[in-house]
Chain A
Amino acid sequence: MGNKSLTYLQALKLIKSFSNQQQQSHSITCSANINPLIHFLRANMIESHDTDLSISSNEFGTLKQHLISNLSDQKDILFLFPWDLIESLNWRTGITSLDERYENELNQNFQLIEAQSFKNIFYFSAPLPPIFLNTNQKEFFKSKLDMTASKLGSTIIQDGICLKNFISSGCPFDNLLIDETAKKILLTLEHKKNEAKKIIVTDLDETLWKGILGEDGLGGISAEAEPSSHIHFIYQGYLKILQERGILLAICSKNDQDLVEKALEVNSFVLKSEDFVSIKASYERKSIMIKELSKELNLGLEHFVFIDDNPVEVNEILEYLPEVSTFLFPKDLNKLNKIFDELEVKFMASEVTKEDKNRTKMYKNIPQASSAVANKIVDLSDYLKSLKMKVTIHNRSGDNNQRAIQLINKTNQFNLNGIRRDENEISEIISGGGKLYTAHLADKNGEHGEVVSILIDSTNTAISFVMSCRVFQRDLEFYFLNYILEKVTPILNISYKSTERNKPATMFMEKMFNSSKDGIYELNINKMKAFNSNINKIFKDTI
């Protein structure tokens, strides 16, 4: 924003000579005549951003009608003056003594305004009329009004009001300061749009703590002041400080909700579950979970920061929710400290009030209208294609099967029956006519290694079928099965048994067979093709 002050004529000339088509729309709701100010807002926007503003506003003196009848469909910008909160403070209606029921009036107006959730509120702390017993009472009133305004989330503007203008034209701005006022308003709008982050959404496994909850179990995760998990310990401490400063914390993790809650309960971490405004643990896409969260909290995506150790998740958010600021959780504390510095700038934008400090509690009281995220059909094929995934299928029936066996014994979540098998047992099954296959995955972000393992016995039954949680929701399981049916056996029986931790496997069964009862299910190539004919388009070649 230019520092030099514009005169009214300069403002008009800038608007007149502006030829660029670029335009931003805003609607301002207020009780005053703001026509002159609009010219200054437009001119400054043109000067600083080469963009004109199209500003609509309600008729002079119709604020209350707008608020009560909920007329303003666009809840964009609200300008507030002291007399909008308590009517006896209006200089235009003359000096009248303060109505005793002013507290009621103030509360009612507060609720009325709060209910409409305007994106931006500006409170002009105009001079109060001489209706108070003494200066103390006047000061008390002024701060009470300022506080009410700040509770509404307003930006408070102290100077620039001219009573003379307000009385004569209804436009309350001082004509010598009006350009400055316009610049302040635009700066705030811009600042709010870009900088003011309000919520951190964090991943859990290898981010909030060391370890993978679904695999390593409740006792297998840590975030202690010990070398191995120290970075997570520091990270939690930092989040706790942000939370105390009024920044919201939320969890977004591919996990089981109850297991996550239990993990937070039984581990004595710095952060407890009550520190989070929302815990989203499911096997849904993270972009969908964050969108849900934004809706539930009524908080725009531009206020979100997302931190995850998995580059695929980070890229997904970058691609689908570009308004969200994303950070890849590093393994190196030096790098984490750099992220802290960047976050500091993003969160410093808003001053912290007492209300901010209670924000987590406040938001927790928002009714959770839409917590059901399951069964949402989203076409991800474009995204998955963009990952340029490359699968290599290995026959591990001979040697070199360490990773295949490890996967079967380590995987809990996408594990079709949860049965552990040692090397001897697997060797026996193979020598009796069984087969062991794995899939190796790479994508544009790098290598994932061997992440799928299947053990098929002599009756063509997949007695073990597991996939690492690192590669969920990429349709890799379908691609892999398709390969097995095309190249290994045209009919495959799948042994499924629900366990305490294999919800992702249950979801797979429901998708594939519309059932998740324990038992043996038959799969053949036709069924697979009917289920997903596009699967081969998503992945590159196989070897």
Chain B
Amino acid sequence: MKNISALENIFIEIFELDSNNDLSKLSSANHKNWDSMMQVNLIVAVESEFNISIDPDDYEMFNSFQNILQVIEKY
């Protein structure tokens, strides 16, 4: 639960969304601003917010809210 709300915060800031949006379904396929630059920003945010260093193997998982959540759970 803690991870979900922290990740939601990241999404709200990075994609400049408001908290009423359903964030859990967001993915690179359905958000036009989700490009490679955003992906870098998401990685920076996740690493710095959760104080972890993401394995480069997991970078490709940074394509949807659910997948990122899964990655975070691993650390």
Residue contact B51 to A168, C-beta cutoff 8 Å: no
A-B contact pairs, 29 of them (CB 8 A): A7-B45, A8-B44, A8-B45, A8-B48, A9-B9, A9-B13, A9-B45, A9-B49, A12-B45, A13-B13, A16-B13, A33-B40, A35-B40, A36-B40, A36-B41, A36-B44, A164-B53, A164-B56, A165-B43, A167-B56, A168-B43, A169-B43, A171-B44, A175-B43, A175-B47, A175-B48, A175-B53, A176-B47, A178-B44
CB-CB contacts of B15-44 with A at 8 A, as 1s and 0s?
Answer: 000000000000000000000010011011
Residues of A contacting B48 in the complex (Cβ-Cβ under 8 angstroms):
7-9, 175-176, 178-179
User: Given the complex, which residues of B lie within 8 Å of A175, measured CB to CB?
Assistant: 43-44, 47-48, 53
Q: Which of B13, B44, B45, B59 counts the most chain A CB atoms within 10 A?
A: B44
Interface of B is mostly: helix
Are B53 and A35 within 8 A (Cβ)? no
Closest to B40 in A: A169
B59-A168 in contact (CB<8A): yes
How many A-B contacts at CB < 8 Å in the complex? 49
Q: How far is the CB of B61 from chain A (nearest CB, A)?
A: 13
Contact partner of A8 among B37, B49, B56, B59, CB < 8 A? B49
9 closest A-B pairs by CB: A175-B47, A8-B48, A169-B40, A8-B45, A36-B44, A12-B13, A7-B48, A175-B44, A175-B48
Q: With A and B bound together, what is the CA distance between A246 and B56 in angstroms? A: 47
Report the minimum CB–CB distance from B14 to chain A (whole Å). 7
Chain A contacts of B72 at CB under 8 A? none
A165: chain B residues at CB < 8 Å are 43
- Please, which residues of chain A bring their CB within 8 A of the CB of B49? 7-9
User: For residue A179, which residues in chain B have a CB less than 8 angstroms away from its CB?
Assistant: 48
Q: Is the interface of A mostly helix, strand, loop or mixed?
A: helix
Q: What is the number of residues of chain B that contact chain A, defined by CB distance less than 8 Å? A: 17
Residues of A with Cβ closer than 8 Å to B?
7-9, 12-13, 16, 33, 35-36, 164-165, 167-169, 171, 175-176, 178-179
Cα distance, A496 to B47, chains bound together (Å)? 82
Q: Decide if B10 is an interface residue (CB 8 Å cutoff).
A: yes
Given contacts A7-B49, A9-B9, A176-B47, 7 further A-B contacts (CB under 8 A): A8-B41, A9-B10, A164-B56, A168-B43, A169-B43, A171-B44, A176-B53
Least CB distance, A182 to chain B, in whole angstroms? 12
Q: Which residues of A contact B13 (CB under 8 A)?
A: 9, 12-13, 16
Given known pairs A7-B48, A12-B14, A176-B51, the reply for A35 and B56 (CB within 8 Å) is: no
With the chains together, A168 CA to B9 CA distance in Å? 24
| Chain B proximity of A403: nearest CB distance (Å) | 75
- In the bound assembly, the distance between CA atoms of A13 and B51 in angstroms comes to 18
In the assembled complex, the CB of B37 is this many whole angstroms from the nearest CB of chain A, namely 7
Chain A residues near B51: list those with CB within 8 A. 176
| A402→B48 CA distance, assembly (Å) | 81
Q: Which residues of B contact A171 (CB under 8 A)?
A: 40, 44
Residue of A nearest to B59 (CB): A168
Task: Report the nearest B residue to A11, measured CB to CB.
Answer: B48
A33 to B43, CA, bound (A): 14
Distance between Cα atoms of A164 and B37 in the complex (Å): 16
A228 to chain B, nearest CB (A): 66
Residues of chain A with a CB closer than 8 A to B14's CB: 12
Chain A residues with CB below 8 A from B59, complex form: 168
Q: Which residues of B contact A168 (CB under 8 A)?
A: 43, 56, 59
Closest to B50 in A: A7
Q: How far is the CB of A8 from chain B (nearest CB, A)?
A: 4
Bound form: Cα–Cα A436–B47 in Å: 87
Which residues of chain A are within 8 angstroms of B53 by Cβ–Cβ distance? 164, 175-176
Q: Chain B residues near A35 (CB, 8 Å)?
A: 37, 40-41
Complex Cα distance, B12 from A16, in Å, reads 12
Minimum CB–CB distance for B13 against chain A, Å: 4
How many whole Å from A181's CB to the nearest CB in chain B? 12
With a cutoff of 8 Å between Cβ atoms, the chain A residues found around residue B40 in the complex are 33, 35-36, 169, 171
Contacts of A176 in B (CB 8 A): 47-48, 51, 53
Complex-state Cα separation, A169 to B59, whole angstroms: 10
Q: Which residues on the A side are within 8 Å of B41 (C-beta)?
A: 8, 35-36
Q: Closest residue to B14 on the A side, CB-wise?
A: A12
Q: Considering only CB atoms, which chain B residue lies closest to A33 in the complex?
A: B40
What's the minimum C-beta distance from A306 to chain B, rounded to whole angstroms? 46
The residue among A7, A9, A33, A178 with the most chain B CB atoms within 10 A of its own CB is A9
Nearest Cβ on chain B to A290's Cβ, whole angstroms: 46
